[in-house]
Structure 1
Amino acid sequence: MVDVLESSLLGSSPQFAHVLAQIRRIAKFDVTVLIGGETGTGKELGARAVHYLSARAAQPFVPVNCGALADSLVESELFGHERGAFTDARHAAPGLISEAEGGTLFLDEVDTLSLKAQAALLRFLQDRTYRRVGGTQTRHTNVRLIAASNANLEELVKTRHFRRDLLYRLKVMPLVMPPLRERGGDVIQLAQIFLERLNRDYQGHTPVKQFHPDLLAALKRYSWPGNIRELEHFIQREYLMCEGAVLNAELPQDRSAPPDGEERYNTVFKQAKARVIADFERSYVASLMTRARGNISRAARLAGQDRSAFSKLVHKYRLASEPEQEQDSADH
């Protein structure tokens, strides 16, 4: 079998070699893992590597984007539900934990879970038992849990938006995926790999392409705030748009570099405008939530907005506490 690290986690810088060594070590121990790192750094690839290098490799790896789970359905999605547990529950469903039996459940963006969902996850982690929504039978499971977040969970704990006890349960074995800007020559190595893949995939449809030296130099200078994902998408986009055999494109303006002159004033204006809009939104939503006594549905009606859109604003500014969420659920 092809080595999981060599086929998916690519790079040879000392910083990345250290991470690969950590992954090999962590995979040997059947404990909960918390993966941190900026968006686009390969947190899911790291989770998959831990799974496929472990004794659970032959069992399922089940990824879950917590940010895509509706708040009212989190427990049903994770633990499953019995027939008739709620209005649309026409059939019993096993849930994602059951699907991952014997293998690994990967919870990405775990910071987006509500406090109520965090409490349910904490209860599960304590003894690996759960009950389906609407059920009475306590079920035991043999699942390894890996969680990931690009947020600073310690800061979220301080602001009471993430449970401290859950953080301790998840952070048994921490792993941090480094940003691309700290990986030295890996930028060029990854760019060459992406280009080789594109040349292979589009063979016969477009000329075989190579990088212009100026573009390679620019790739090294750029800070890549979107990390590996941004690099891959940039190479793919420029490859498909290039009619010749040499890639030489301009990179986006690097926002990590301090602007000067007129550009600086434009940047300051845009930042100030964004802050004003954000302050207004936060104040407006908070006022409506107060008038609606914490009920998101009522507040959305007052605003004349769709509940889903208004709910996103509430959670964007973290204005819904646990009691408010429970009250809102009871309103339906």
Structure 2
Amino acid sequence: MARLISHRPAPPAADPGIAEEFVAFNLVGQSEKFLNLLARIKKIAQCDAPVLLEGQTGTGKELAARAIHYLSDRRDFPFIPINCGALPDSLIENELFGHAKGAYTDAGQAQTGVVEQAQGGTLFLDEVDALTQKAQVTLLRFLQDQRYRPLGERVLKEADVRIIAVSNRPLEELVTQGLFRQDLLFRLNVLNASLPPLRERGDDAVILAREFMRRLRIRYDQPDKILHPSTLRWIRRYDWPGNVRELENFIHREFLLSEGRYLYAQPPDPARRERRRARPDRRRQVSFDLGFADAKGEVITNFEKTYLCWLMEECGGNVTLAAMRAGKERRAIGKLLKKHGIDKKKYHRAG
């Protein structure tokens, strides 16, 4: 058996021409890993079964999901995304299945859930790894037979949707840690694909940078700009922890700020990654066991911390500029920074 396995033929290399088919979906690259991913996406699109896409943040998982949808027989029906990380337990059934008029206080009219909105098409579950245990049970029950009951109604409805779930973390590891249900993983992981980080995609970073510049030239009606050789060198060397999204944001900013024909750019500040890691987790769940006032206060505190960290990073620690951007008095921003223990000096840019 071992000899048979060791002599198993390697899968054929993907046709480089397949890349042209995916440019319309904003999936751009020529590396072997990326071309193999595109070939897998194309094959998955033809199989009407649940799909699990895994990969680091910023690798293009939603773009891949949309490509699967629009290459499938469901292309003429809706693609409905829902962010699982923003779904509290108290709203999960209402968001998924909707409610009838009068189902609860303030339900003055009926509302359809995302399952019904996606009928015939695709329901895209973003950040499925952020679902609570209760929400996982609700989703699992629906996936067993795609039948559901809107809140306040007595009759079961049957759905016809394809599920594409996305996770920033390996779900198998979460199962081992007791954070994700194994039976739900089995339901979601019928077909799967893993999106490689940008640092593993060879020269794709340069190809993407040039593609982003081409789009920006059209968008802002600007003359052509060229990446300076020194900029090309560090783009190839940099590990891009934020992947394609980080590269796109970086090129966007430098394209608008650069003067002349060449785009000269310095590598991102190494401390920027540490500041990003120090930000409060935007997917953090609210403690619903608290009273209303305490829960509301927790949400506001988390928002203020996250917003201030982002604001300081964008403004290089300049409080005056931050106040102008936020539309608040400088003194008010200063008080908020002090309240949350945020040191503006950590965000000052060298030079």
TM-score, scaled relative to structure 2: 0.73
Paired residues of 1:56 and 1:102 also in contact (CA < 8 A): yes
Distance 2:196 2:296 in 1: 40
How far has the Cα of 1:246 moved from its partner?
A: 1.1
Q: Where does residue 5 of structure 1 map in the other structure?
A: 22
Q: Where does residue 140 of structure 1 map in the other structure?
A: 158
Alignment of 1:169-184 (within 5 A): 169-184=187-202
Q: Secondary structure at the match of 2:112?
A: coil
Alignment of 1:169-318 (within 5 A): 169-203=187-221, 206-254=222-270, 296-298=289-291, 301=294, 306-308=297-299
1:284-306 Cα shifts (integer Å, max 9, x gaps): xxxxxxxxxx96314974xx971
How far has the Cα of 1:3 moved from its partner?
A: 7.0
Identity %: 49
Q: Secondary structure at the match of 2:290?
A: helix
How far has the Cα of 1:164 moved from its partner?
A: 1.2
Q: Where does residue 129 of structure 1 map in the other structure?
A: 147
1:135-173 Cα shifts (integer Å, max 9, x gaps): 211000110000001012222222222111101110111
How far has the Cα of 1:223 moved from its partner?
A: 0.4
Distance 2:288 2:236 in 1: 50
Change (3 A) 1:254 1:295: closer
Superposition CA RMSD, Å: 3.0
- The residue identity in structure 1 corresponding to 2:297 is D
Q: Does 2:44 match 1:26?
A: yes
How far has the Cα of 1:109 moved from its partner?
A: 0.3
Distance 1:240 1:310 in 2: 34
Q: Which runs of 5+ in 1 are unaligned?
A: 258-266, 279-293, 313-332
- The residue identity in structure 1 corresponding to 2:299 is S
Q: Where does residue 85 of structure 2 map in the other structure?
A: 67
Change (3 A) 1:249 1:124: same
Q: Does 2:173 match 1:155?
A: yes
- The residue identity in structure 1 corresponding to 2:130 is T
Distance 1:46 1:75 in 2: 27
Distance 2:259 2:271 in 1: 29
- The residue identity in structure 2 corresponding to 1:116 is K
Count residues with an aligned counterpart: 280
Change (3 A) 1:229 1:91: same
Paired residues of 1:223 and 1:254 also in contact (CA < 8 A): no
Change (3 A) 1:297 1:161: same
Distance 1:154 1:124 in 2: 21
How far has the Cα of 1:115 moved from its partner?
A: 1.1
Distance 1:156 1:186 in 2: 30
